[in-house]
Amino acid sequence: MKKPRKLFLTALLSLAGALWMPSAAAEVDYTRFVNPRIGTGGHGHVFLGANVPFGYVQLGPTQPTRGWDWCSGYHHSDSVLIGFGHQHLSGTGIGDLGDVALLPIAHEKQRQTKFSHASETVSPGYYAVKLAEPNVLVELTATKRVGMHRYTFGGDQSEALIMLDLRQGIGWDHVSQCQMTQESPTVVTGYRHSVGWARRQKDFFVAEFSRPVELTKVDGDTTGILTVKDIAEPLLVKVALSAVSVENAKLNLQKELPDWNFQKTVAAARKAWNDELSKIQIAPLSSPEGAMTIFYTALYHTMIAPSVFNDVNGEYRGADGKIHKGNFTNYTTLSLWDTYRAAHPLQTLIHPEKQADIAQTFLNIFNEQGKLPVWHLMGNETDCMVGNPGIPVLADLVLKGFFGNLSIEKAYEAMKTSAMLDERGMNLLKEYGYLPFDKDDTNETVAKGLEYALADWCVAQVAKKLGKKADFQYFMNRSKLYQKHFDQKDGFIKGLSSTGERRKPFNPFHSAHRADDFTEGNAWQYTWLVPHDVHGLVKTFGSEGKFLAKFDSLFIVSGDLGKDASPDISGLIGQYAHGNEPSHHILYMYNYVGQPWKGARLLRQTMREMYSDDFDGLSGNEDVGQMSAWYVLSAIGLYQVEPAGGKFIIGSPAVGEATLSVGNGKTFTVKATDNSEENIYVQRALLNGKPYTKSYILFSDILRGGTLELQMGPQPGNFGTKKKDRP
């Protein structure tokens, strides 16, 4: 259960009303409704600092790593800084990056400093903190590939010292090789190669200063002390990064930030954020209670990654470690086990112009490493998490028509090849039709199998589109794997041995992190991980009545998960765990059995209790945009359950109206008439003025533009109850 909300922008929220209509969009500064502190406490693990949408650089404060909650390099509970690093993750469960950090220091032996949150100021594209030792105001901003610092020193200093740290990273990251060189009185260049979650990360940098500095190396090339004699005026520093070379870092600096105008750079970053945030314009309910802040901060969090991962000349470091060049934008930080569920479907709605480049990125990764990405970080395959999560994303783009001049046949080859490898348990899948727990020494066999099954369904849909009948049937058969694991006796999905025996002893509540049949979950949560075939799962139970009896219980039962359960199992309503991704589609399954009103109650409860505008405002890891993308889509009233194809399920909007810019100058509006905290049930609907009875809408209908009007009421109605109207 979340803490009571703390409202940060009460005065701004009083503006709700006509100002938030689409016609007023040009007058609205949407960045004013973003509170980047949300999720910096609890287990949110979000990035705090200065960046632009999808930027390679995330410039912000880095703290000493003190445990799991410091995966991004920053946690609200801490008051110590070790530097201002130029790359950070947001919402992950593993730590890395923190590369190329600067820190003003009072003396040469100082390696950290204290700060107060009261002295911090942060907004999209800008971060500032006033330090006491030394006496300096630190201000940060960024472009896509360049970070910019402004240091204003107190009047009691005759010179300033700045530490350049190539040694310390975040979490699992360790420097393997580095170098720093002073090329001129105002330019320092170098590189940092590291081993961590990204096993062979390479960063090259150029740091240009607005006045001369003198570099003194300490601890070899890992740490440098920069002495600045003239500090009467603020000192500006521009740091450009490249994964390719120092020369490319210099080119990035020249092209993206040739001047020294700090305020102009802040304004450009704010405009970049406004351009993206304004793609969804909402009208909050009459009593928003932080709704604007929660919504636009969530939207902001969905655009920290994927991150641009090529230089301005088109060069990038591929998954094979080699340098490639292409006429497209290459991306990295692909947390696909999380983001295939909502973050990528949201992108297809409001960032259609980026999807061909996402597809090209996936195809290039396939060419470079022989399979689609699983969890890609800085050109490295981490193989983190289970399943084939790159397949649903690529299949979704194919089925939604985002391929343009790209080859759908090549995409299919990438999907089929990735699904037929003999790695990560897929050899057992091909041999047994499931993953036996006594043959796979890495555990998590049920979770692996269910994730492979939904990816196989996606391969089948693309095979069908291409007329590959044999492949379609083969992968459809594999997608039914969940039926083998289902136990009719008690209605749970369970692990199976190589002889077909079910896991004993069995406790549906129990979970052991990385040491049982499930990944960050238990049988209560994973029994429903069949988003590609909900009706098939219902039939497996025997009837809708039996399915609903078990499904209703999910939100009521409670039990002991055990001392070894993953901390990711959080945000509980009964055993529904909103704090982790395998549960994210579950509330919308009620539409499939004609009882959307049950989902409506739980959707409103989840949005109300699991999200707030406090620093502890998320019920689990942000997971590179997924936790926030769920909120954005659900607040609008739409969610894609099936992992590919674009069937958006209609839920219970938490806003009065939402207008989405869907590309080609078109907009799609979801208008919830008479919506309120009490009127949570859809009574009837109109699509472009005509009666609409289905409890879902197709992506193709959204893409055409128009208006979906939902009449809301205080009691459940008949909307979406007939079988012909169910998804």
Segment 647-676, tens digit of pLDDT: 999 999 999 999 999 999 999 999 999 999
> What's the pLDDT score for residue 358?
98
Residue 203 Rama label (left phi>0; alpha psi -120 to 50; beta): beta
> What's the pLDDT score for residue 584?
98
DSSP state for residue 501 in the 8-state scheme: P
> What's the pLDDT score for residue 7?
32
- How many Å apart are CA 632 and CA 625, to the nearest integer? 10
**Residues 257-287: tens digit of each pLDDT:** 999 999 999 999 999 999 999 999 999 886 5
- How many Å apart are CA 306 and CA 13, to the nearest integer? 30
CA-nearest of 335, 333, 310 to 252 is 310
Q: If DSSP codes are grouped into helix, strand and coil, which group holds residue 381?
A: strand
How many residues are there in the chain?
727
- The alpha carbons of the chain give a radius of gyration, in whole angstroms, of 25
Pairing of strands 666-673, 706-713: parallel
- How many Å apart are CA 389 and CA 373, to the nearest integer? 8
**Residues 704-727: tens digit of each pLDDT:** 999 999 999 999 999 999 999 999
Residue partners of 340: CB distance under 8 A and separation at least 6: 389, 392, 393, 396, 643
CA-nearest of 113, 122, 50 to 87 is 50
In this structure, what is the dihedral angle of CA atoms 670, 675, 679, 682, given to the nearest 10 degrees?
A: -20
Please check the confidence at residue 6 and state whether its pLDDT lies above 50.
Answer: no
In this structure, what is the dihedral angle of CA atoms 502, 504, 508, 514, given to the nearest 10 degrees?
A: -90
* 20, 283 Cβ separation under 8 angstroms: yes
* 529, 544 Cβ separation under 8 angstroms: no
- How many Å apart are CA 33 and CA 13, to the nearest integer? 9
- The amino acid sitting at 20 is W
DSSP state for residue 502 in the 8-state scheme: B
Please check the confidence at residue 24 and state whether its pLDDT lies above 70.
Answer: no
Angle between helices 390-399 and 408-419 (to 10 degrees): 150
DSSP-H helix ranges across 111-245: none
- How many Å apart are CA 70 and CA 686, to the nearest integer? 47
* 512, 561 Cβ separation under 8 angstroms: no
Angle between helices 408-419 and 355-369 (to 10 degrees): 50
Tokens of 105: 């220091």
- Looking at 8-17, 166-175, 338-347, 417-426, which range is the least confident one? 8-17
- How many Å apart are CA 619 and CA 257, to the nearest integer? 38
Q: 334 pLDDT band (50/70/90 cuts)?
A: very high
> What's the pLDDT score for residue 155?
76
* 710, 650 Cβ separation under 8 angstroms: yes
* 44, 616 Cβ separation under 8 angstroms: yes
Tokens of 121: 């100021």
- How many Å apart are CA 330 and CA 343, to the nearest integer? 18
- How many Å apart are CA 588 and CA 649, to the nearest integer? 7
CA-nearest of 670, 662, 679, 661 to 638 is 670
Q: If DSSP codes are grouped into helix, strand and coil, which group holds residue 616?
A: coil
Q: Give 182-207 as a DSSP string.
A: EEETTEEEEEEEEESSSTTEEEEEEE
**Residues 596-616: tens digit of each pLDDT:** 999 999 999 999 999 999 999
Angle between helices 390-399 and 343-350 (to 10 degrees): 30
Helix (H) or strand (E) holding 609: helix 596-609
Residue that the structure tokens 């009303």 belong to: 17
> What's the pLDDT score for residue 289?
58
Cis peptide before 727 (omega within 30 of 0): no
- The contacts found for 155-159 with CB under 8 angstroms, 24 or more apart, are 157/231, 158/231, 159/227, 159/228, 159/229, 159/231
> What's the pLDDT score for residue 286?
65
Please check the confidence at residue 25 and state whether its pLDDT lies above 80.
Answer: no
Helix (H) or strand (E) holding 160: strand 160-165
Cis peptide before 306 (omega within 30 of 0): yes
- How many Å apart are CA 588 and CA 578, to the nearest integer? 13
Q: If DSSP codes are grouped into helix, strand and coil, which group holds residue 483?
A: helix
Q: 404 pLDDT band (50/70/90 cuts)?
A: confident
- Looking at 24-33, 369-378, 406-415, which range is the least confident one? 24-33
CA-nearest of 260, 70, 49 to 171 is 70
Burial (CB count within 10 angstroms: exposed 0-12, middle 13-18, buried 19+), residue 29: middle
Supply the pTM of this predicted model: 0.96
- Looking at 22-31, 214-223, 336-345, 553-562, which range is the least confident one? 22-31
> What's the pLDDT score for residue 158?
85
